[in-house]
């Protein structure tokens, strides 16, 4: 189990290094892709921390987004590196194995219009449980979404799942972040 986690972290750092090599590309090296008038423009997109709550779940997380393609209408395709720590429960207390932590590497589709941001996410997650004997730590596919109103401080509606018991959450909360469209 530790070996899988180490491989995941190594892959994550290799990807970050690869992304950083493209972050400072010169304007004369930008290529145009004919699909939906997106330009190949690797760049920093946003950084954010957030906290969400909904009835019997609580989540706190952090995200770092990079763009690979961008349109003139603020539609972006890129990546997201994120950590989600969430507590699940019911009205009698916390769920066995809670809290859970996910280390995510997502492909991200974003649209930013004035104060509104929408993200659709799909990728891989390394899932950790507080009780690995019952809910083993493992790599899982993961999807998610995020709707946010606000620039630096925002109201956020967020959810994600890996389609297995105790791997998902949904909540509404607050976010603090920076987006390059500000």
What was the pLDDT predicted at 12? 54
Q: Which residues pair with 69 in a beta bridge?
A: 40, 77
Q: What would the pLDDT profile of 156-170 be if each residue is shown by its tens digit?
A: 999 999 888 878 888
Quote the pLDDT of residue 155: 96
DSSP assignments along the chain, one per residue: -HHHHHHHHHHHHHHHHHHHHHTT--GGG-EEETGGGEEEEEEEEEEEEEEEEETTEEEEEEEEEEEEEE-TTSEEEEEEEEEEEEEEEETTEEPTT-SEEEEEEEEEEEEEETTEEEEEEEEEEEEE-S-TTTS--EEEEEEEEEEEE-SSEEEEEEEEE-SSTTS-EEEEEEEEEEETT-
Number of domains observed in the structure of the chain: 1
Chain-centroid distance, C-alpha 181: 18
Domain housing 32: 2-179
Block mean pLDDT (10 aa), the chain, length 182: 58 54 50 64 92 86 94 92 86 71 95 92 92 83 95 92 85 91 62
CATH of residue 21's domain is: 2.40.160
CA–CA distance, 19 with 38 (Å, rounded to integer): 18
- Residue 182's pLDDT is 57
Separation CA 100–CA 103 (nearest Å): 10
Cα(82)–Cα(104) distance, integer angstroms: 5
């Amino acid at each position: 189990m530790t070996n899988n986690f180490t491989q995941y972290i190594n892959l994550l750092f290799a990807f970050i290094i690869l992304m950083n090599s493209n972050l400072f590309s010169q304007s004369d090296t930008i290529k145009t892709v004919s699909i939906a008038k997106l330009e190949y423009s690797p760049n920093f997109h946003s950084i954010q921390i957030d906290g969400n709550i909904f009835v019997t779940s609580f989540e706190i997380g952090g995200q770092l987004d990079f763009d690979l393609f961008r349109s003139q209408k603020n539609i972006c395709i890129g990546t997201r590196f994120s950590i989600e720590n969430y507590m699940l429960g019911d009205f009698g207390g916390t769920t066995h194995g809670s809290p859970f932590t996910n280390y995510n590497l997502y492909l991200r589709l974003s649209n930013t219009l004035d104060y509104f941001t929408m993200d659709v996410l799909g990728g891989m997650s390394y899932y950790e449980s507080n009780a690995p004997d019952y809910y083993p730590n493992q790599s899982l596919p993961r999807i998610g979404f995020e709707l946010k109103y606000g620039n630096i401080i925002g109201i956020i509606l967020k959810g994600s799942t890996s389609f297995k018991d105790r791997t998902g959450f949904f909540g509404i909360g607050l976010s603090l972040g920076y987006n390059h469209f500000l």
